[in-house]
């Protein structure tokens, strides 16, 4: 029995939306956010009036324009995407593989951008979605460069996704040591069968701010070529990011 603050309840309502629940009725919202219907009614009304929520044709609620607009102002995401976009296109051109850009979000990887080819390996990522770190290439890179407490916490919960997922802490630690030493991480069908991946860190200055990765059906033979292509792109992104900080707030084109 907690003492729920008004704000946290409003946020809980927004948090009720996810990629599997883009549209929710008032009752759904109340249920998912654990809020009495009458209270939810009022809060949802306020959110709707402000534009955080919109009503779809059938009367149910969806995320509104205002939130979408705000989201575009998020510098970590939007800035990163803009800086990375051209390099990711180059990388796609060079490899014809699905290209991923991700950052660490707590104990998970958050996909910031994704470039998928027409004929692509089965990949479960989506822009804005999160996946466990230990089962993805970009995740291993980010974990390898994460603070100790994050690493410790992540090791507690190495959930199995496929038969090849690394679930032994010792084995993962060993891999992560290698990632730091070699400068890239790989996976082999650890997240979804038929999909292998390579990823490298994106550095702005000394910090690892993101990870760039590609997904291919098999990487045995071409690994060196892929790693070097990834490195070129990642360096380009990093350089752009560092430059962006000093650039003017945005000259209208």
Considering only residues 11, 21, 37, 70, which one is a binding residue for DNA as defined by CB under 7 A?
37
Between residues 33 and 204, which has the closer beta carbon with respect to DNA? 33
* Percent of the chain that is helix, strand, coil (3-state, to 5): 45, 20, 35
Between residues 7 and 156, which has the closer beta carbon with respect to DNA? 7
Contact between 49 and DNA per CB under 7 A:
no
Contact between 47 and DNA per CB under 7 A:
no
User: Which residues does residue 200 pair with via DSSP β-bridges, in sequence order?
Assistant: 212
Number of Cβ within 10 Å of residue 222's Cβ equals: 14
- What mask, x for binding DNA by CB under 7 A, covers residues 56 to 95? ---xx-----------------------------------
Q: What CA–CA distance (Å, rounded) separates 127 from 229?
A: 22
Contact between 46 and a second copy per CB under 8 A:
yes
3-class DSSP assignment, residue 206: coil
Contact between 55 and a second copy per CB under 8 A:
no
Contact between 5 and DNA per CB under 7 A:
yes
Of 120, 230, 233, nearest to 184 by C-alpha is 230
Considering only residues 19, 25, 56, 157, which one is a binding residue for DNA as defined by CB under 7 A?
25
Considering only residues 26, 28, 31, 64, which one is a binding residue for a second copy as defined by CB under 8 A?
64
Angle at 123 between CA 117 and CA 126, to 5 degrees: 85
Contact between 4 and DNA per CB under 7 A:
yes
**Biggest alpha carbon–alpha carbon distance for the chain:** 62
Question: Strand runs (DSSP E) across 92-195, as ranges?
Answer: 98-105, 108-115, 130-132, 185-188
- What mask, x for binding a second copy by CB under 8 A, covers residues 104 to 133? -x----x-----x---x-xxx-xxx-----
Strands of the sheet containing 98-105, edge to edge, are 130-132, 108-115, 98-105, 207-216, 196-204, 185-188
Contact between 34 and DNA per CB under 7 A:
no
Among a second copy, DNA, none, residue 208 binds (CB under 5-8 Å by kind): none
Q: Are residues 196 and 187 in contact, defined by beta-carbon separation less than 8 angstroms?
A: yes
Q: Note the residues at the interface with a second copy (CB under 8 A).
A: 5-8, 10-11, 14-15, 17-20, 22-23, 43, 46-47, 50, 52, 54, 56, 62-78, 98, 105, 110, 116, 120, 122-124, 126-128, 249-250, 252-253
């Amino acid at each position: 029995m907690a003492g729920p603050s008004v704000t946290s309840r409003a946020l809980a309502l927004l948090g009720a939306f996810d990629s599997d629940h883009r549209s929710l009725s008032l009752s759904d919202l109340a249920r998912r956010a654990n809020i009495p219907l009458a209270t939810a009614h009022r809060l949802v009304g306020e959110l709707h009036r402000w534009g955080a929520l919109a009503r779809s044709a059938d009367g149910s609620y969806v995320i509104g324009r205002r939130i979408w607009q705000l989201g575009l102002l998020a510098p970590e995401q939007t800035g990163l995407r803009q800086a990375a976009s051209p390099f990711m296109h180059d990388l796609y051109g060079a490899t014809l593989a699905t290209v991923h850009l991700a950052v660490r979000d707590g104990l998970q990887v958050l996909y910031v951008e994704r470039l998928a080819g027409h004929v692509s390996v089965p990949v479960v990522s989506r822009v804005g979605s999160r996946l466990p770190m230990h089962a993805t290439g970009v995740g291993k890179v980010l974990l390898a460069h994460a603070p100790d407490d994050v690493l410790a916490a992540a090791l507690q919960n190495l959930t199995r996704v496929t038969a090849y997922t690394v679930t032994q802490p010792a084995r993962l630690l060993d891999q992560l040591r290698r990632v730091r030493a070699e400068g890239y991480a790989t996976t082999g069908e650890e997240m979804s069968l038929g999909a292998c991946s390579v990823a490298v860190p994106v550095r702005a200055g000394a910090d690892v701010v993101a990870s760039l990765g590609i997904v291919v059906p098999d990487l045995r033979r071409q690994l060196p070529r892929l790693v070097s292509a990834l490195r070129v792109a990642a360096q380009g992104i990093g350089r752009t990011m560092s430059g962006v900080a000093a650039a003017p707030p945005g000259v209208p084109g």
